[in-house]
Structures are given as structure tokens and as C-alpha cells.
Amino acid sequence: MSRIKRRRFLELGGAATLISLSCASHAQSWPNRIVRLLVGFPPGGGMDAAARILADRLSAIWGQQVIIENKPGAGGRIALDAVAHASPDGYTMLIAAGAPEVNRFLFAKLTFDPAADFAPVSLVGTYPDFIVVSNASPFDSLGTLVAYAKHNPGQMSWASPGVGTVPHLAGELFMRMAGIEMTHVPYRGITEGLMSDLIAGRVDAMFNTAGTLLPLIKSHQVRALAVTSGTRFPDQPEIPTVRESALPGYDISSWYGLYVPAPTPQDIVAKMNADVVVMLREPAMKEKFEPLGVLAAGSTAGELAARNSADAALWGPLIKAVNIMVE
């Protein structure tokens, strides 16, 4: 080997060693200060509650405080934008419901790239939506609701917690598969009279998350017609699925996932993933998520990325076909 080639070889080898040592040092020293977990919705909702369960346990595991930072607004986009542009050092995390990638179909303009700006860490858990009516409703099954809607197109109304939310998209898919037409009435979460309007009969039906509806179903304040997941929900096994009640092939569940800015060092992402997956196997953690209707379970980063792609493939064509746009 010539002197020049040998020197170049040694330089490259030294650089590789420094990179390796630098990467190793990331995970060894992280975290050494507060970690922020951003939530794109106000305190008090299901996502906020899930985030606080995670933050409390991760604080104990990491020996550093994990604090919740609520950044509500714009359908979660404010939090997404904040994480997309945060320093990729492992000290800013995001919990999101469903796939960030779906945002590119819902919004004409975005200040971030939902496919490229976020590195998936782990699934947190899955949860279904429920279809409910008021106790005074004449519909005692999903089949009777569908039959009435077919004979009275456009005369029924249904509510969701907002345009572009998974319950909204699940309802739109339901109508297309059932061949019915109902008027969508979007609300902003549960704070603008959504539940009171349903209970009073001002809207005929509602699609909403398990975390929101389970307490009302259990206390018999509303009547559950069906659960949107492919199998019955373990906590309420007497409630039939949409697929067995009316629409074979219908199977919709939502999920929470954890993300960090895309350039975050891989060894830090790997440590986050390993700790979250082990944590979510703990029986005590699963019990804490049960009241939210969340079936806690972690995943690999790759599996969470695959869920994002699958949701984009499912909802993208529907959003275009129905012309759903969020202002």
C-alpha cells in the first residue's frame, strides 16, 4: 500500500471510529435533562390522558422528568409543526392519533412534511370508535339505522369530533360502504355541545372514540349500536361490530404513536423504543390505559411506519373522493 493510500485509510478509519464513539455516547448520556412530550390537543382529552400516563412512567424509567406540553389548535398541526422544527436531540417527542401522513390530504398547505419530518418511535396502543345514539332513539341496532337511512336519504344527521378526525373518516367510509347518505355535523372535540346535542336528539347518531364514549356507554347515558373494530371490544363484549351488524369487511381502529424529529440520532430512537415497548408490556400500564379504551401495545419503529403508510393508503383516496378539506 502506498504511503498516501495508507494515510487515507488511517484517516477514514479514525473518522469511522469517532462517528461510532459519538453515536454510542448519545444513548449513554441521554437523557440528562427534561424531555418534552407534545400533545396537539387541550388538557382533559383522551390523548392528553394517554400522554400523562406515558410521561409519569417514562420519568421513572429515565430518571429525568418528562413533561407534557399541550399545543392545541389547527387539528393538531401546531404540535406537529413544533416537533418537525425542534432540535433533533431526543428532548422533544410527540404523541399523535393516527398517521401524520394523512395531513397531506387534508390541508392545502403545510409548514412541515408529514412523511419526512418525523421519525417513528413506537406504537402506544390501539382503540376503536363507537357508533352511538341517544337512549330515546328509535334505532336499537345498526341494521335498523342503515335501513331507515336508505329509505330516507339525507334526512338523518350524524356527529363527529371534527372534520378530518378518524371518527369523521370512519363515518364517511361507513356511509360509502353502506350506500347511504346522512348529513355530517362536525364539532370541535367534545367542548362545543356535542354530547348534549346527541343526548337531546338534535343529531341522530355519533361516531367517536372509545375514550370519549366508554364512560357514557357504561353509565347508560347513550346507546351503543356498534364498535368499528374488526373484533368486539374486550371491555364491552356485548356490543357487536359494524362488520357483523351491517357491513362485512368494515374494520377501523385508531391508534396513538410516538414520534421525534426525523434527524434524531438512531441510538436515542432505539433506546426510546426499547424502553417504551418494555413499559407497555407491564400489566399496571395496561390497566391504566383501559379506562381510555386503549389496548396498550408497543411496536418496532418500522411497524409504526408501516401503519402510517397503510392509513395514508386507506384514507387518502376517500378524502379525495369526498372532497374533505380542513380550513
CA atoms of 190 and 197, how far apart (whole Å): 11
The region that residue 48 occupies, defined by phi over 0 for left and psi between -120 and 50 for alpha, beta otherwise, is alpha
Fold match between domain 30-127+254-322 and domain 128-253 = yes
One-letter amino acid of 303:
E
> Alpha-carbon Rg of the chain, whole angstroms?
23
Are 242 and 250 in contact, with CB atoms under 8 Å apart? yes
| Local structure of 68: helix, strand or coil | strand
CA atoms of 145 and 156, how far apart (whole Å): 9
What does CATH list as the number for 30-127+254-322? 3.40.190.150
Write phi, then psi, for 61 (nearest 5 degrees): -70, -45
32: Cβ contacts below 8 Å, ≥ 6 apart = 64
pLDDT on residue 161? 85
What stretches of the chain show up as alpha helix (H) in DSSP?
3-29, 46-62, 77-84, 103-106, 142-151, 166-178, 194-199, 210-218, 242-245, 266-280, 283-289, 301-322
Taking alpha carbons only, the member of 124, 113, 108 closest to residue 84 is 113
**What integer is the mean pLDDT of 300-326?**
95
Give the torsion sign (CA, 229, 313, 93, 25).
positive
- Which CA distances in Å does 182 have to 57, 150, 151, 154, 227? 43, 9, 11, 5, 19
Taking alpha carbons only, the member of 129, 83, 122, 80 closest to residue 256 is 122
DSSP 227: E
Which pTM value belongs to this model?
A: 0.85
Q: What is the pLDDT of residues 247-292, one digit of tens each?
A: 999 999 999 999 999 999 999 999 999 999 999 999 999 999 999 9
pLDDT on residue 18? 47
DSSP characters for 125-162? EEEEEEEEEETT-S--SHHHHHHHHHHSTT--EEEESS
Residues 163-174 as b/e (b if ≥16 CB within 10 A, e otherwise) read bbbbbbbbbbbb
Please determine, looking at this structure, whether the domain spanning 128-253 carries the CATH number 3.40.190.10. Answer: yes
Q: What is the pLDDT of residues 6-20, one digit of tens each?
A: 555 455 555 444 444
pLDDT on residue 17? 47
88 pLDDT above the threshold of 50: yes
Are 79 and 39 in contact, with CB atoms under 8 Å apart? yes
**What integer is the mean pLDDT of 234-249?**
94
Mean pLDDT of the chain: 90
Chain centroid to Cα 71, Å, comes to 16
pLDDT on residue 189? 61
**What integer is the mean pLDDT of 212-222?**
92
| Local structure of 15: helix, strand or coil | helix
The region that residue 231 occupies, defined by phi over 0 for left and psi between -120 and 50 for alpha, beta otherwise, is beta
Chain centroid to Cα 253, Å, comes to 10
147 pLDDT above the threshold of 50: yes
Q: Where are the domains of the chain?
A: 30-127+254-322, 128-253
